[in-house]
Structure 1
Amino acid sequence: MPASAEPLVFEPCPFEGAECAELAVPLDERDSDAEIMISVSRVRATGTPEEYRGALLVNPGGPGGSGLEYSVSKGKKLPEQVRRSYDIIGFDPRGVGRSAPLDCGELGGLFNHPAPEPVPADRAQERAHLDRLAHMAEDCLRHNPDSAAMNTMNTARDMDRIREALGEPKLNFLGVSYGTYLGAAYAAEFPERVGRMVLDSVVSPDRWHDFDVQQAYAMLRQRDVLFDWIAARPELGLGTTRDEVRDAYTRARIGLTETPARGTFGAAEFDNLVYKTLSRTERWRPFAEALGAYVNSGNADGLGPALPETDTESRNYEAALRTVKCNDSTRPSRAEIISDIRQLRETDPRPILTGLESTTCAFWDRPRQSAQLGSPDMPPILLTQAELDPTTPYHGAKRMQAELPGSRMITAQDSYSHGLFASQRIACVDDAAAAYLVDGHLPERDLHCPGPGLPE
């Protein structure tokens, strides 16, 4: 590959609203002869030449999230002054979507439904749980001989090649969720090339297994808030106290364990639905209504799809999610995994283990390069964070802020949802972030904005 990235040649995308290009990058820094192609999209800035600020690369999160069409979907949500000022650039990170996609085959039976009980309750179930994790790792490593090169640091290097191919002197970047981890990794590798960077819904700087466990506890706290919210709405028919709602929830989960709905929707599928529900408060009422219909009349239609999701995009996401996490940080031991699950069960007998994807890493090859985050040589950047987001908990976001010298954080107080900037439509947040992106005005100190509270 030439020392400098070739300029991107954009053509119509296979979807509306953007133009697309491909960029050749090395598979691995240690072997520049092997290349993969990275798919890139662009939505042109809508403003005048005087308003133009360059390119803004965006990433929706994951690991495993496809970002090619994100230039369109996120671009539509951004404040108008940002859309007028920037070309919005999306891309599929390596291993994802149209960029050398990973596929782990059966992934240890992950796509078989109903899945086994996800929370092991005795030693025999714990052994079976570890066996499933081992099979997941085996499937991934067997199907993807180049998987060791699919990690965050290599993706950060790909981002710099995109910057170069666009002719941009610095990288302007908006990363959401895992995208914040990716942005921090870029800052570690290329601190002098960091332009205006907004990291929204911030991942902690801990190794992935520790982050996953912290998230699992935050999900339990959020579930109690959901139970209280349901209890305050007796018309939902699930009880008028937290304990009554918890009892209805437990009965539903036991019932789905014994007799999966439609033969495919059991306890594991239910936990996955709960995990997604807890991350965004606009999902709470539909979930509560569906739960009430099942508990009170046996109607499970609202709880999940008629058929399990096993499409190519879902398989790729699940493969990339685990591959990148396992290639980024040190592995948990088998004893540590079981100890963490037992402690979660002591906190609540039915914890939500859906987000513990990095437990697979106990059976993975040792990472070639652990992710590095932040640099003393980087410029100050902007973080945005919902105070009560269970997916990327606030205390972890504050620890990431400490790794990013001079950074400022905008916190939405009394906000319970994942995804904040240009997502929850909080003017205090969006206006401050837009002012930074457009004019470089970083708040003098951390800013606290009133959030939306819980849904009606």
Structure 2
Amino acid sequence: MNLRRLLAGVTAPLAVLGTITTAGAGPAAAGAAPPRDSTITWKSCPEYSDDVVDWMGFRDKAWFRATMTRMDCGTLRVPLDYTKPSGRWITVAVTRLPATDQAHRLGSLAVNPGGPGGSGYLMPIDLIRPEAPTATLNERYDMIGFDPRGVGYSTAINCDDGEKPAAVGAQGLRGVQELPGVQGAQAKGAPPGPITEEDARQMYAQQVQANQQCAQTDPKFIGALTTGNIARDLDRIRIGLGERKLSYLGVSWGSWLGPVYRSLFPGKVGRMWVDSVAPPDPRMDAFEAGRAKATAMDFSRMADWMAPFNDTYGFGTTGAQVQASLVKLQEDLDAHPKQFTDIPMPMDGFVVAIAASQPSVGWPFAAQLLADLRDATGPTAPPTIQEAFEGERTPPPIGTPERDNRVANQAIFCNGDGGARDFDSAWAAYQDGLARYPVTGVLGFPIPTCAGWPLPVDHIRLRHNGGSLQLSGHRYESVSAYEWTGDMQDAVGGEVFTVEDDMHGSALMEPNCATHVVAYLTTGDPGASGCQGVPVPTGPDSTPPGEARLADTQSLRPATLAGR
């Protein structure tokens, strides 16, 4: 995700459209008489055009099509409300890649990419790409993907303004549910500079209106989009597969779904690994506070990294000097935003915060962008700033599967959020963050995402249960703060596996970590208590892996429905 989307990614308040879609059929009517068992109806898998396969990032089309040929695709009927099994039923879409070594098969491994609201339908194929360090999992496991209720090929609802949700992109698993939040002062044509209390109150009113409109589109369906119900759906999938126990691999919000499933269905879990661990109490106010603290810590790490390269960047020879210089740059840009003829919006202090909050793979590029922004005199933008605004992907071709669903994202968060939702509490916390964390504090939310959400909160009590569990936390990560890993262990048990990096979800992507994930899932023993993870760049000329430049800092947070 590039800087333009980060700055302008806020969506308008939702308009009520109320469209229901179901995988392979019409909506599950309340008066219908669906089967009251857990039978998965297997059918032909979707066929994707070459354009769609390219857009999804599968360059080896022959391999992708051969893998799709051996994949099973199906649907499962589940109660909308598990307390009312005689009422309305909906459809959950499921995929299965049978183990290639059936003689030594270990069972079924369900996978979830996070979100919430992320599609896991094709995640098994992502995990077993020939170049993927997790590819061997399919030798002994049936790989099970699924679209949670409200997402993709499962029964879903659309209550936005008609904008299509993003689809599974070329980054595959690396872009674990990148969703826009409240963005910078330039979004939606607002003037540059800090957010004022008047601005925030207007945002709050818009958020309340948008949340209430969306929730009332179909309150029974949207109210049933909860982590608990998705865990219950997952157990129906287990039964439909004929498995006594189900193993599980989840990332980001998937690290919340896994422990919830384990708590609700003790004894039904085989081996479970969750990466980039979510907090055990899904309060959005506490989440924002934890994330703000971790982001500020990573900014200090970036400043310390920049200091030895003062000849290149010119912000100081110590971490403290670099931080002080960037505070001044942010203040200067807020007071006097820079406008370039080839960039669609003025550059204010929020740009500094975005660049200063990057994971380490993006530090060389972000540091150079900051230096160029400081020194730029115009009228055109320096190359780094131009590059940050380039690379917008073309819209997905027709037939591209949904990558994430914004309505499900918002509903699952808000239906589980027991934190404060009033304006005064959020505004006070935002002001506190600005004071505590110069430069990065502005990235916090000045309003509660679930303001005005009218549906009841589904409180879930996590429990210690028997069974094997590995919790991999990333020591320096800001999206899922490392301290949450220990908090989750206190709540549910299991063993902590520490990844020495700051990259969200990298345990499945980095070979030196994925080796341990595979070892654990196949033998029950990860062989270590941690791994190095993604290395910190050695200097300004370091090339980040893949296409990494400025990363999205909004993962694992709800899609804010109103903003500046």
Matched, 1:395 2:471: no
Q: Which residue of 2 aligns with 1:283?
A: 362
Give, in whole Å, the separation in 2 of the partners of 1:337 and 1:454: 34
2:76 pairs, out of 23, 36, 42, with 23
1:222 pairs, out of 298, 318, 322, with 298
Deviations 1:23-46 (A, max 9, x none): 222222134331222222233333
Kept in 2, the 8 Å contact 1:25–1:158? The answer is yes
Q: Which residue of 2 aligns with 1:454?
A: 536
Matched, 1:92 2:167: no
2:46 pairs, out of 4, 9, 13, with 13
Matched, 1:71 2:124: yes
Amino acid at match of 1:136: A
Cα distance change, pair 84–252 in 1 and its aligned pair in 2 (3 A): farther
Kept in 1, the 8 Å contact 2:255–2:278? The answer is yes
Kept in 1, the 8 Å contact 2:433–2:444? The answer is no
Kept in 1, the 8 Å contact 2:478–2:502? The answer is yes
Kept in 1, the 8 Å contact 2:472–2:496? The answer is yes
2:418 pairs, out of 330, 335, 359, with 330
Give, in whole Å, the separation in 2 of the partners of 1:134 and 1:411: 39
Give, in whole Å, the separation in 2 of the partners of 1:255 and 1:44: 60
1:44 pairs, out of 98, 107, 110, with 98
Determine which structure has greater relative contact order: mean sequence separation of CA pairs < 8 Å that are 6+ residues apart, divided by chain length. 2
Cα distance change, pair 254–135 in 1 and its aligned pair in 2 (3 A): farther
Deviations 1:320-357 (A, max 9, x none): 22211110131413122122111101113544565759
Matches within 5 A, 1:55-66: 55-66=108-119
Which secondary structure does the structure 1 equivalent of 2:289 belong to? helix
Which secondary structure does the structure 2 equivalent of 1:359 belong to? coil
Give, in whole Å, the separation in 2 of the partners of 1:316 and 1:144: 19
Aligned-pair distance for 1:101? 3.1
Kept in 2, the 8 Å contact 1:169–1:193? The answer is yes
Could you tell me the percent identity over the aligned residues?
Answer: 25
Q: Which residue of 1 aligns with 2:523?
A: 439
TM-score of the pair, normalised by structure 2? 0.69
Give, in whole Å, the separation in 1 of the partners of 2:375 and 2:152: 41
Aligned-pair distance for 1:442? 6.3
Matches within 5 A, 1:160-239: 160-209=235-284, 210-234=286-310, 237=313, 239=315
Give, in whole Å, the separation in 1 of the partners of 2:202 and 2:414: 21
Matched, 1:383 2:471: yes
Deviations 1:336-390 (A, max 9, x none): 21221111011135445657599222311242522333x2333131111211111
Aligned-pair distance for 1:262? 3.7
1:138 pairs, out of 193, 212, 226, with 212
Kept in 2, the 8 Å contact 1:114–1:269? The answer is no
Give, in whole Å, the separation in 1 of the partners of 2:198 and 2:312: 38
Which secondary structure does the structure 1 equivalent of 2:199 belong to? helix
Aligned-pair distance for 1:285? 3.0
Kept in 2, the 8 Å contact 1:103–1:316? The answer is no
Aligned-pair distance for 1:22? 2.0
Cα distance change, pair 348–273 in 1 and its aligned pair in 2 (3 A): closer
Kept in 1, the 8 Å contact 2:275–2:507? The answer is yes
Matches within 5 A, 1:242-257: 242=322, 243-248=324-329, 251=332
Give, in whole Å, the separation in 2 of the partners of 1:357 and 1:38: 36
Kept in 2, the 8 Å contact 1:114–1:264? The answer is no
Cα distance change, pair 22–117 in 1 and its aligned pair in 2 (3 A): farther
Matched, 1:409 2:496: yes
Aligned-pair distance for 1:274? 4.7
Cα distance change, pair 117–257 in 1 and its aligned pair in 2 (3 A): farther
**Structure 1 stretch displaced more, 393-402 or 334-343:** 334-343
Give, in whole Å, the separation in 1 of the partners of 2:443 and 2:472: 25
Amino acid at match of 2:511: R
Cα distance change, pair 205–6 in 1 and its aligned pair in 2 (3 A): same
Cα distance change, pair 355–326 in 1 and its aligned pair in 2 (3 A): farther
Matched, 1:419 2:474: no
Aligned-pair distance for 1:251? 4.9
Which secondary structure does the structure 2 equivalent of 1:343 belong to? helix
Give, in whole Å, the separation in 2 of the partners of 1:86 and 1:420: 21
Cα distance change, pair 216–416 in 1 and its aligned pair in 2 (3 A): same
Deviations 1:166-188 (A, max 9, x none): 22111110010110100011011
Deviations 1:261-288 (A, max 9, x none): 743576698489559x63x432333333
Q: Which residue of 1 aligns with 2:18?
A: none
Amino acid at match of 2:407: A
Cα distance change, pair 27–105 in 1 and its aligned pair in 2 (3 A): same
Cα distance change, pair 268–341 in 1 and its aligned pair in 2 (3 A): same
Deviations 1:305-325 (A, max 9, x none): 577999898995433222111
Cα distance change, pair 442–395 in 1 and its aligned pair in 2 (3 A): same
Give, in whole Å, the separation in 2 of the partners of 1:433 and 1:357: 38
Aligned-pair distance for 1:127? 1.8
Give, in whole Å, the separation in 2 of the partners of 1:272 and 1:92: 34
Amino acid at match of 2:509: S
Q: What is the root-mean-square deviation in Å for CA atoms of aligned residues? A: 3.6
Higher share of residues assigned helix: 1
Deviations 1:88-115 (A, max 9, x none): 2221211222223343424999799446
Give, in whole Å, the separation in 2 of the partners of 1:68 and 1:271: 37
Give, in whole Å, the separation in 2 of the partners of 1:230 and 1:142: 50
Kept in 2, the 8 Å contact 1:385–1:420? The answer is no
Which secondary structure does the structure 1 equivalent of 2:102 belong to? coil
Q: Which residue of 2 aligns with 1:343?
A: 432
Q: Which residue of 2 aligns with 1:129?
A: 203
Matched, 1:105 2:160: yes
Q: Which residue of 1 aligns with 2:137?
A: 82
TM-score of the pair, normalised by structure 1? 0.84
Which secondary structure does the structure 1 equivalent of 2:431 belong to? helix
Give, in whole Å, the separation in 2 of the partners of 1:90 and 1:56: 9
Kept in 1, the 8 Å contact 2:152–2:402? The answer is no
Amino acid at match of 1:301: Q
Kept in 2, the 8 Å contact 1:61–1:177? The answer is yes
Matched, 1:361 2:447: no
Matches within 5 A, 1:270-309: 270=351, 274=355, 278=358, 280-297=359-376, 298-299=381-382, 300-305=385-390
Give, in whole Å, the separation in 2 of the partners of 1:135 and 1:371: 27
